[in-house]
């Protein structure tokens, strides 16, 4: 069985929770893009785990793979491993494998991330400042340091020097100092620890694929942050959609590959950029409060708004989503009337998709349909039949607008707060 999990909105849809839930069945869990800009939260009884780089399957001691499509900050990785080990999570060479050809995030990338934002003036992207964009730029510029470079000290020294020289003029202009010798020294101190995990990830998963193992690909961010299909330039620097699993892990295209689109029952976004259904009112504040909408990585308050079926439909198409997972339904429990965006209007023209023209973003006005709220608690429910009729109606309405089945519903942060309509886990 092959499953991919992707976010259909602007990230933070609850991917971590669903990966953890589904990984009870999985043999392998694989990250294939992004880096420690991701923040995936998993709640198991009283314990809360926050993962940035490690695949969420690590909590259940599954075989976890970090593919070449990821950009890896060695210090962030070591820190995350050490924090999880303190919580008795097992991480060793038998359950963590990192692609030899993964590109590294170095301290200079965080400096450049800062400079890039500074030079945008009022048009900030609002990045996580983890050096993600600059690390991908160096990868595409064929200057990056890869995990497999760490074994050869002399070569590594030359490569880091070359990389730092390349960036020096711009850093100087912004009065920033990046010392390549210090970077080399710091990297050398941690290199043996991460080389330990280095492995031919592409081979491991293709072998596992041949044996028909259960492989779960864990997306980070969301489709609207995709470098190609997102709300450019207010996006992240990787392809976040499901197509990236092939080039970001080396897994070949296969049949029987399911793609689950993780979708919040409303919409949130962190950082700048267009957001047609954004609510700057009491209802938006209620979503922040009830949904605890604060960034896992940067602690920023998330912007909140109504469900946008236009965007979700777009994501379903681009990712080849087979089933939708609706999360945070419980956050809508107190809302009297729930709005769903079903189209946009600008300059007397209607749109059933989000156009790429940046100049249009400001002008788009949402077209809403209104559904009656259920005004009763759905928190923690695990059965479809226990949901209030009006909550069932809301879900059916969304299904009709996005033209896709919502087969899993999340009603709380814990792994057990999940309705499995099609009995995917076989526990019903
Ligand atoms: P991810 O980045 O997609 O993994 O999502 P995050 O972990 O950044 O944000 C989702 C937040 O919502 C986390 O704090 C989860 O514990 C929480 N969460 C997930 N599903 C539900 C749900 O159904 N209801 C509620 N109330 N919280 C949820
Ligand atoms: P998870 O996996 C929400 C956003 C940042 C910023 C933009 C670019 O938890 O869903 P970057 O540092 O990637 O260059 O920032 O992307 N962003 C996320 N927003 N969830 C995430 O990940 C995000 N990762 C990046 O806020 O707007
Ligand atoms: Mg998150």
- The class that CATH gives domain 105-194 is mainly alpha
Please list the residues that pair with 28 across neighbouring strands: 63, 215
Locus of tokens 């990585």? 297
What 8-state DSSP symbol labels residue 148?
Answer: G
pTM above 0.85, yes or no: yes
Phi then psi for 72, rounded to 5 degrees? -115, 120
Res 255 pLDDT > 90: no
pLDDT of residue 254: 87
CATH code for the part of the protein at 262-420: 3.90.170.10
Res 58 pLDDT > 90: yes
Q: pLDDT averaged over the chain?
A: 96
For residue 40, indicate whether it is catalytic: yes
d(CA 289, CA 287): 5
What residues sit around ligand 3, an ion, with C-beta below 5 angstroms?
A: 12, 39, 296
Res 297 pLDDT > 90: no
Superfamily of domain 2-102+197-257: Adenylosuccinate Synthetase, subunit A, domain 1 (3.40.440.10)
> Residue ranges per domain, the chain?
2-102+197-257, 105-194, 262-420
Average pLDDT of 345-355? 95
What are 241-253's pLDDT values in tens digits? 999 999 999 999 8
Q: What confidence tier does 14 reach under pLDDT thresholds 50, 70, 90?
A: very high
Nearest CA to ligand 1 atom 20: 413
Nearest CA to ligand 2 atom 5: 127
Nearest to 301 by CA among 318, 325, 285: 285
Q: What confidence tier does 428 reach under pLDDT thresholds 50, 70, 90?
A: confident
DSSP per residue, 183-212: HHHHHHHHHHHHHTTEE-HHHHHHHHHHTT
Q: How far is the CA of 102 from the centre of ligand 1 (A)?
A: 28
Cβ–Cβ < 8 Å for 324, 404: yes
Strands 418-420 and 406-410: antiparallel
More confident residue, 296 or 29: 29
Cβ count within 10 A of residue 76: 16
What are 165-175's pLDDT values in tens digits? 999 999 999 99
- Nearest-atom index, ligand 2, CA of 12: 10
Res 153 pLDDT > 90: yes
Q: How far is the CA of 10 from the centre of ligand 1 (A)?
A: 13
Nearest CA to ligand 1 atom 8: 12
d(CA 294, CA 221): 15
pLDDT of residue 154: 95
Q: What confidence tier does 278 reach under pLDDT thresholds 50, 70, 90?
A: very high
Determine if ligand 1 sits within 6 Å of the CB of residue 218.
no
Among 8, 11, 12, 51, name the best residue to mutate to test ligand 2's pocket (greatest count of ligand atoms within 8 A of Cβ): 11
What percent of the chain is modeled with pLDDT above 70?
A: 100
How far apart, in Å, are the Cα atoms of 108 and each of 155, 165, 203, 231?
A: 19, 11, 32, 27
3-state secondary structure 106-134: CHHHHHHHHHHHHCCCCCCCCCCCCCHHH
Cβ–Cβ < 8 Å for 102, 138: no
Find the residues whose C-beta lies inside 6 A of ligand 2: 7, 10-12, 37-40, 125-128, 130, 132-133, 220-222, 225, 236-237, 270-271, 296
pLDDT of residue 119: 95
Locus of tokens 């879900």? 395
How far apart, in Å, are the Cα atoms of 239 and each of 36, 133, 146?
A: 15, 12, 19
Nearest to 265 by CA among 415, 376, 412, 425: 412
- Nearest-atom index, ligand 2, CA of 272: 27
For residue 286, indicate whether it is catalytic: no
What are 111-125's pLDDT values in tens digits? 999 999 999 999 999
Grouping H, G, I as helix, E, B as strand and the rest as coil, residue 86 is helix
């Amino acid at each position: 069985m092959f499953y991919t999990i992707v976010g259909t909105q602007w990230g933070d849809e609850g991917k971590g929770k669903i990966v953890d839930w589904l990984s009870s069945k999985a043999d392998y869990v694989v990250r294939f893009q992004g880096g420690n800009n991701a923040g995936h939260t998993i709640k198991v009884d009283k314990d809360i785990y926050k993962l940035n780089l490690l695949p969420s399957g690590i909590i259940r001691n599954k075989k976890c793979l970090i593919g070449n499509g990821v950009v890896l900050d060695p210090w962030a990785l070591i820190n995350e491993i050490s924090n999880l080990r303190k919580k008795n999570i097992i991480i060793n060479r038998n359950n963590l494998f990192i692609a030899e050809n993964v590109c590294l995030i170095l301290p200079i990338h965080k400096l450049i991330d800062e400079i890039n934002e500074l030079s945008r003036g009022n048009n900030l992207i609002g990045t996580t400042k983890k050096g993600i964009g600059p690390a991908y730029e160096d990868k595409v510029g064929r200057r990056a340091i890869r995990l497999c470079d760490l074994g050869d000290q002399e070569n590594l020294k030359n490569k880091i020097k070359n990389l730092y020289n390349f960036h020096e003029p711009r850093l100087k202009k912004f009065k920033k100092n990046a010392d390549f010798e210090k970077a080399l020294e710091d990297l050398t101190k941690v290199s043996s620890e991460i080389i330990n995990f280095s492995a031919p990830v592409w081979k491991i998963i293709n072998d596992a694929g041949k044996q028909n193992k259960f492989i779960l690909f864990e997306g980070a961010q969301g489709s609207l942050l995709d470098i190609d299909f997102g709300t450019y330039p207010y996006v992240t620097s990787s392809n976040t959609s499901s197509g990236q699993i092939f080039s970001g892990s080396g897994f070949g295209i296969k049949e029987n590959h399911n793609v689950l689109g993780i979708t919040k029952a409303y919409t949130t976004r962190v950082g700048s950029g267009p957001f047609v259904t954004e609510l700057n009112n009491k209802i938006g504040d209620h979503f922040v409060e009830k949904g605890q909408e604060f960034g896992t990585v940067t602690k920023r308050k998330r912007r909140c708004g109504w469900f946008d079926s236009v965007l979700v439909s777009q994501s379903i198409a681009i990712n080849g989503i087979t089933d939708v997972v609706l999360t945070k339904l419980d956050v809508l429990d107190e809302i009297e009337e729930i709005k769903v965006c079903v189209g946009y209007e600008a300059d007397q023209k209607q749109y059933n998709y989000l156009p790429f023209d940046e100049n249009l973003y400001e002008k788009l006005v949402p077209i809403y349909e209104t559904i009656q709220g259920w005004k009763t608690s759905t928190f923690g429910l695990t059965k479809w039949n226990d949901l209030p009729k009006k909550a069932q109606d809301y879900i059916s309405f969304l299904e009709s607008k996005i033209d896709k089945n919502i087969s899993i519903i999340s009603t709380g942060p814990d792994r057990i707060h999940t309705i499995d309509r099609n009995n995917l886990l076989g526990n019903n």
